[in-house]
Amino acid sequence: MLKDVTIGQFYPTGSIIHKLDPRTKILLTTAFVVILFFINNLWGYLAAFLLLGVIILMSKIPVGYILRGIKGLVLIILLTVILNLFMTPGAVIASFGPVNITLEGVKIAVFMALRLIFLVIGTSIMTLTTAPIDLTDGMEWCMKFIPFVRRFAHELAMMMSIALRFIPTLMEETDRIMKAQKARGANFETGNIISRAKNLIPILVPLFISAFRRADELATAMEARCYRGGENRTRMKQLIFARRDVVAFVVMFLMIAGFLATTIINIPLLFPL
C-alpha cells in the first residue's frame, strides 16, 4: 500500500529535469495544475498528455514507476468518475433502474479522471525529480512572495527540513519499539479493531516520548550552534537560475499560450460544445 505512493519520493537519475532549479519546477508544476482545472476540451488534454510524456522521457524515470503513483489513488478516481457519471443531468444515453447516465456525465467523468491522473503524474514528476531538501528550499523562496505566509517562510521550511531529517530515524525507532513490545508478548496481528487500536498504546507512548526527547535535545543543540531564526541567516547553497531554467520557463509560457488558444478558439473534437 504505502510503497505504491510515489508522491513525495525522490528518484535520482541525474537527468536535465532533475537538474532544473527547484523553484522552476515548483512554479511550472503550479502553473500546470492550475491550467489543468481550466482545460475544457480534449485538445487541451491531448497537449497535457504530450507534455507529460516528453517530460517523463526526459526525466529518465521508468514510466511504470510513475504510474504506480496512480494505483494508490485508484479508489478516489473511481469514486469521482462514478459520482459524475450518475449525478450529472443532461441527455440520457443509458439507464439502470433509477439511475441514468447522461452524455454530459460521461464527458465530465472522463475529464475529471484525466484531470486527477494528470494532476498526480504532474506533481509526482516534481517530487520524483527533486530532492526533498531542494524542494523545501524552493518552497521557502516561493513562500516569500505570498503575503501573510511570508513571515513564516523560514520557520516552515526549517520545520519541513527537520521533519525530513527525522523521518528515517523515527521509522527505525518505531520498528525497534514494535519489536521490543512483541518480545514482551504483545500481539499486533490479531483481534478486532478496538483491541488492535488499544494494542498500539505500547508503541505510541514510547514513540511520542522519544520524539519529544529528540525535539528537546535537538533544540538545545541548535541553540548551542547559534540558531536564532531566519533573521540575518545566510545560506551556503544559493539557488541559481541556469539557462535550462530559462528554457523551462519558455516552455511554460508556450503551455499557457496554447491553453488559452484551445479554450478561446475552441476547436471542436469528439464533444462539440
Interface contacts to other proteins, rule CB under 8 A: 132-133, 161-162, 164-165, 168-169, 172-173, 176-177, 179-187, 189-190, 201-202, 205-206, 209-210, 213-214, 217-218, 220-228, 232-238
**How many residues make up the chain in this entry?**
273
Paired with 99 in beta bridges are: 96
Compute the least distance from the CB of residue 186 to other proteins, in Å.
6
User: Which is nearer to other proteins, 164 or 269 (by Cβ)?
Assistant: 164
Record the cell numbers describing residue 54, joined without a space: 516528453
Q: CA 113 to CA 16: how far, in whole Å? A: 29
Compute the least distance from the CB of residue 242 to other proteins, in Å.
17
Tell me how crowded residue 66 is: count the other CB atoms within 10 A of its CB.
19
> Helix crossing, 42-59 with 243-265: angle to 10°?
160
Q: CA 246 to CA 24: how far, in whole Å? A: 9
User: Which is nearer to other proteins, 8 or 53 (by Cβ)?
Assistant: 8
Nearest to 246 by CA among 34, 28, 53, 61: 28
User: Which is nearer to other proteins, 72 or 202 (by Cβ)?
Assistant: 202
Compute the least distance from the CB of residue 56 to other proteins, in Å.
22
Compute the least distance from the CB of residue 72 to other proteins, in Å.
20
Record the cell numbers describing residue 113, joined without a space: 479522471
| Contacts for 52-56: CB closer than 8 Å, 24+ residues apart | 52/118, 52/121, 52/122, 52/125, 55/17, 55/125, 56/121, 56/125
Q: How many CA atoms lie within 13 A of 177 on its CB side?
A: 19
Compute the least distance from the CB of residue 225 to other proteins, in Å.
4
Compute the least distance from the CB of residue 44 to other proteins, in Å.
38
Residue in the structure block whose three cell numbers are 532533475: 18
User: Which is nearer to other proteins, 184 or 243 (by Cβ)?
Assistant: 184
User: Which is nearer to other proteins, 34 or 219 (by Cβ)?
Assistant: 219
User: Which is nearer to other proteins, 30 or 161 (by Cβ)?
Assistant: 161
DSSP one-letter code for 90: S
DSSP one-letter code for 20: S
CA distances from 217 to 133, 170, 207, 212 (A): 22, 15, 15, 9
User: Which is nearer to other proteins, 221 or 267 (by Cβ)?
Assistant: 221
User: Which is nearer to other proteins, 184 or 273 (by Cβ)?
Assistant: 184
Compute the least distance from the CB of residue 65 to other proteins, in Å.
14
Compute the least distance from the CB of residue 163 to other proteins, in Å.
10
